[in-house]
Structure 1
Amino acid sequence: MILITGGARSGKSHLAERIANQKAATCEGKVLYIATSLATDDEMSRRIEQHKLTRPAQWRTHEGYRQLGNEIRQQSAFFAVVVLECITTMLTNLIFDWAGDNDPDYLDYLALERWLEPQIDDLLKACAGSQSEIIIVTNELGCGIVPEYPLARHFLDIAGRVNQKLAQQANEVHLVVSGIDVKIKG
């Protein structure tokens, strides 16, 4: 498993796509791209469409963020490479699913993290057992100030712990800064 982290617009996606193309070319394999974003407004729809245009046409795309461990288990026999883009977006969507219409200031964040943990563990288990090369993209959120609002602070904590789990299991970890790839593990 390869983990690629970095800030927003740092070049993470470009690096993931380049590595996926290289890995697939060496074994003449297919690539599955798991896109976790939701088109919640017109601007996000345009971003998603722009991302699609950067990927090779022969790649298969799965759009979704739930039960990705199952998706990887079901698809890994058919694809040489799986790109999961992106963990922090997946977490955001899962958190909003769990929270529903409840006020974020009064959520039980400990219960939320207990609910998320088995899903992350299942994803990691699926990645470890996969025949495919798994490339996971995530955002590095811990380089800024501590957010003012409880939801943002808890999201930062949750995403940081998830990123640590991913990095621990990954064979390689890349940090992308201003378009420059710095390999920090493997």
Structure 2
Amino acid sequence: MLAFVTGGVRSGKSQFAESLAMKIAKRDNKSLYYIATSLRTDQEMDERIKRHQANRSNHQLPWGTCEKSKDVGMLAERFSKKDVILLDCLTILLSNEMFHASRQEFSNEFSNKLFLKIVREIEKLKMASHTLIIVTNEVFHEKVSTDRGVFLYTKLLGKLHQHLVESSDAAFSVEYGVPIVKKGSCI
């Protein structure tokens, strides 16, 4: 099963996704895993990471954590159909893949290859698990930058969102801490 969770920054999407993962794991007697894609880049990010870790440790069900900023498909062999995986978040994963590699010329060919790479890696995680929940940021309410790299990033993220929602079993948008079902349901 694939669930897609989106929302604005600080909308409560990660908290909702964690709650969803725990409900599925408890209902179906599965293990919980968290794939963290964030890099510790500054004090604010370090505090956010610590807050997320504390939230997960305060629950009755234990979480395993994998820190993987790129190439998340390589983790698939660690999981089984006994696992519920929460990947947080696609927005940062794409940024890591696109901007932290050797400096790329941001061509359409590069964008297409990266799209296919990320889709394949997510498919590997989905196939290796009972449930994969993907968290992402809604960044499409802002004016799009004219910078070539940022423009292609935004375009690629939108393309990934559309593909993942289309192939998902459930999709949610979280606004002000309130999840809104956009497609299906898995709880």
TM-score, normalised to structure 2, is 0.87
Task: Tell me whether 1:185 sits opposite 2:183 in the alignment.
Answer: yes
Cα distance in 1 for partners of 2:81, 2:65 equals: 13
Cα distance in 2 for partners of 1:141, 1:61 equals: 26
**Secondary structure of residue in 1 paired with 2:100:** helix
Q: Which runs of 4 or more aligned residues in structure 1 lie more than 6 Å from their structure 2 counterparts after TM superposition?
A: none
**Secondary structure of residue in 2 paired with 1:50:** helix
Amino acid in the other structure paired with 2:44: E
After TM superposition, give the deviation of residue 128 of structure 1 in Å: 4.3
Counterpart in 2 of 1:167? Answer: 165
**Percent of counterpart pairs with the same letter?**
29
**Secondary structure of residue in 2 paired with 1:173:** strand
Amino acid in the other structure paired with 2:67: E
Q: For 1:95-143, what per-residue CA distance to the aligned partner results, in whole angstroms no more than 9, with x for missing partners?
A: 123343x6xxxx3332331331232231242144234211110111212
Counterpart in 2 of 1:16? Answer: 17
Amino acid in the other structure paired with 1:178: Y
User: Are residues 146 and 96 of structure 1, via their aligned partners in 2, closer, same or farther at CA, if it must alter by over 3 Å?
Assistant: closer
Cα distance in 1 for partners of 2:156, 2:26 equals: 36
Please point out which of 77, 88, 96 is paired with 2:80. 77
After TM superposition, give the deviation of residue 40 of structure 1 in Å: 1.2
Please point out which of 65, 68, 73 is paired with 2:69. 65
Counterpart in 2 of 1:41? Answer: 42
Do 2:38 and 2:92's aligned partners in 1 also have CA atoms closer than 8 Å?
yes
Do 1:124 and 1:166's aligned partners in 2 also have CA atoms closer than 8 Å?
no
After TM superposition, give the deviation of residue 93 of structure 1 in Å: 0.6
Cα distance in 1 for partners of 2:107, 2:137 equals: 20
After TM superposition, give the deviation of residue 75 of structure 1 in Å: 2.6
User: Are residues 131 and 41 of structure 1, via their aligned partners in 2, closer, same or farther at CA, if it must alter by over 3 Å?
Assistant: closer
Counterpart in 1 of 2:120? Answer: 122
TM-score, normalised to structure 1, is 0.88
Q: For 1:16-74, what per-residue CA distance to the aligned partner results, in whole angstroms no more than 9, with x for missing partners?
A: 00001111111232101000000012221122111111113620000013221231x21
Amino acid in the other structure paired with 1:169: S
**Secondary structure of residue in 2 paired with 1:10:** coil
Do 1:95 and 1:112's aligned partners in 2 also have CA atoms closer than 8 Å?
no
Count the aligned residue pairs: 180
Counterpart in 1 of 2:51? Answer: 50
Task: Tell me whether 1:138 sits opposite 2:136 in the alignment.
Answer: yes
Counterpart in 2 of 1:110? Answer: 108
Amino acid in the other structure paired with 1:170: S
Amino acid in the other structure paired with 1:160: G
Cα distance in 2 for partners of 1:16, 1:63 equals: 17
Give the gaps of 5 or more residues in structure 2.
none
Amino acid in the other structure paired with 2:26: A
